[in-house]
Amino acid sequence: MRLLKFLSLVSLFLLSVACESDKSSSLDEVKLLSSINNKIHLKSDEIASNAFEIKYDVQGKPIIGQAVSVKLTFNGFIESQQIQIEFKVADPSSMTFSEAQVKKINLQYNENTKDNNLIQNVSVIPKKQGRIFLNVILSYEIEDGIVSIMKAVPIYVDSV
């Protein structure tokens, strides 16, 4: 009987030690994966924030029902020479694009210029008073895939 109790205690001890080692190794794996994911996330944030700067300037006074131009300046240093820019209106009841306005455009950097600025004008027609937003999505290719950057451009609209 004593031998049976002793063997059961030893087996219980070995089982608990084995379970603890599995927990610690799986915990180490989780920590490792988390660390790798954080490094990847930080790298992609660094690429996105350091690669491009998007500046905007609303030309004139935005008034309901009248077209207004937004001058967008893209300044950046990238491996790719071509970028794609897409313009979107999140709320169609707030504004529309002017009739001739393209909603997606590809721009090409010229290697021979010293200036890394690309300028694009967007024409929109506000439909309501207050703050409305024009979404600008910039995409370009890098060695590891495609990077996209989005900026919401606020436009403050007066009724008159």
CATH, residue 118: 2.60.40.10
Question: Does 143 fall in a domain?
Answer: yes
Residue 79, pLDDT above cutoff 60: no
Does some domain include residue 117? yes
Report yes or no on 80 lying in a domain.
yes
Position 37 pLDDT exceeds 50:
no
Mean pLDDT of 76-83: 68
SS3 (DSSP) at 75: strand
Q: Domain range holding 131?
A: 53-157
Residue 8: pLDDT over 70: no
Return the structure tokens found at 140.
């370009």
- 20 pLDDT exceeds 70? no
Does residue 43 belong to any structural domain of this protein? no
Q: Which of 100, 91, 83, 96 is nearest to 137 (CA)?
A: 83
Q: Residue 158 has what pLDDT? A: 84
- Domain assignment present for 82: yes
Distance CA 63, CA 3 (A): 93
What's the pLDDT score for residue 13?
64
Residue 31 lies in a domain: no
Structural domain count, the chain = 1
Would the pTM count as exceeding 0.75? no
Instruction: Answer yes or no: is 57 within a domain.
Output: yes
- Whether 103 maps to a domain, the answer reads yes
Instruction: Give the model's pLDDT for residue 81.
Output: 67
